[in-house]
């Protein structure tokens, strides 16, 4: 893509953002940003995600451990947002996802963070658990793009998304990086307190695929599906692969073996242990049988440190925390 094409694309993004900003901000008075549809006034209280009417982030770093096209050699500019609309008993980010630990930031601060990540060489802007924060993210993106942001936007999600909200993001999001966690609603209710996950995620994936299609690394656009393999045969992965193959077997799959029984997983004997290599390899073989050949798998090697903090962002977040504390 030459500069003229990129400039035209960025102008269209700004135009699209201006079209949807009012709608997204309107959700804060009666929040229906996710399938929970709590309907709460976030200016007065919080919904299931635990978030008020302000953006809240745990950290923003360069991440070298995402899928290769997302991280590249220079790292994904990753913003970890606090709160979550799922309540996974094995949550690996309990502090900021479940307990809501993080720093509240204004839209202008968020835009500045996006630009700092780009300045430090990020290959993409990787927004992790963005949905409850969409009004703030969208406005921050507008400000950042108007001030030079030109990174591909990665929507890094659990897959528990409302297709109607996703539809608003068409033309803004470049890459959907979505989990597909479960193959039935019973398991999702038991382990993530989402009684309709399988029903919802299928509709969400269809909408994501409609918008961006098969992942194209050259264009940095498309759908990538993550599958975290759980132990104990609690998920029927053939159901997941069957569904995804009905869209395309060219969808890249990121099949992960990094499950660790964190948080409350010990209360459920069937998932209270790590995944073994035999279980993992069976899922890899199953994916191949369904015709999937694109994507990534994880080796048994011990993971190295995959993130690099940035002093400029750390100091900014510290300043914002002090500012918030002193205002009370």
Mark the binding-site residues, compressed into ranges: 84, 88, 91
| Binding-site residue ranges for [4Fe-4S] cluster | 84, 88, 91
Strands 125-128 and 103-105, how do they pair? Answer: unpaired
Distance CA 80, CA 156 (A): 10
| Residues facing residue 1 across a β-bridge | none
Rounded Cα distance, 50 and 52, in Å: 7
Label residue 260 exposed, middle or buried (CB < 10 Å: 0-12, 13-18, 19+): exposed
Q: Which pair of structure tokens corresponds to residue 208? A: 């994501």
Report how far Cα 184 is from the mean position of its chain's Cα atoms.
Answer: 21
Cα–Cα distance for residue pair 232/37, rounded to 1 Å: 32
N-to-C CA span, the chain? 49
| Among the listed residues 31, 35, 24, the one whose alpha carbon sits nearest the alpha carbon of residue 47 | 31
Q: How far apart are CA 78 and CA 127, in angstroms?
A: 6
- Classified as helix, coil or strand, 5 is helix
DSSP string computed for 90-148: T-TTIIIIIS--SEEE-HHHHHHHHHHHHHTT-SSEEEES-GGGHHHHHHHHHHHHHTT
User: Both tokens of residue 278?
Assistant: 């035999």
DSSP label at residue 33? S
């Amino acid at each position: 893509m030459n500069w003229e094409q990129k400039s035209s694309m960025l102008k269209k993004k700004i135009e699209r953002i201006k079209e949807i900003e009012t709608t997204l901000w309107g959700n804060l008075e009666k929040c229906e940003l996710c399938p929970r549809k709590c309907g709460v006034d976030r200016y007065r209280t919080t919904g299931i995600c635990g978030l008020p009417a302000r953006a809240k982030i745990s950290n923003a770093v360069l991440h070298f451990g995402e899928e290769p096209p997302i991280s590249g050699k220079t790292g994904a500019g990753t913003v970890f947002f606090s709160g979550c609309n799922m309540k996974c008993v094995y949550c690996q980010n309990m502090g900021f996802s479940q307990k809501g630990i993080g720093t509240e930031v204004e839209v202008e601060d968020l835009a500045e963070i996006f630009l700092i990540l780009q300045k430090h060489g990020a290959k993409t802007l990787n927004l992790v658990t963005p949905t409850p924060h969409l009004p703030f993210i969208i406005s921050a993106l507008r400000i950042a793009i108007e001030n030079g942001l030109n990174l591909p936007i990665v929507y890094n999600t659990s897959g528990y998304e409302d297709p109607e909200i996703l539809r608003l993001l068409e033309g803004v999001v470049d890459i959907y990086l979505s989990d597909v966690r479960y193959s039935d609603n019973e398991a999702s209710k038991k382990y993530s307190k989402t009684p309709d996950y399988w029903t919802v995620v299928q509709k969400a994936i269809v909408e994501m695929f409609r918008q961006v299609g098969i992942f194209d690394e050259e264009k940095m656009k498309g759908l990538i599906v993550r599958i975290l393999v759980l132990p104990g045969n609690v998920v029927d992965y053939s159901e997941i692969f069957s569904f995804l193959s009905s869209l395309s077997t060219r969808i890249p799959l990121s099949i992960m073996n990094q499950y660790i029984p964190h948080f409350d997983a010990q209360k459920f004997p069937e998932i209270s242990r790590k995944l073994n290599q035999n279980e993992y390899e069976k899922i890899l073989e199953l994916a191949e049988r369904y015709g999937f050949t694109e994507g990534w798998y994880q080796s048994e090697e011990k993971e190295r440190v995959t993130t690099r903090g940035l002093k400029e962002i750390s100091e900014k977040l510290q300043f914002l925390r002090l500012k918030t504390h002193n205002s009370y």
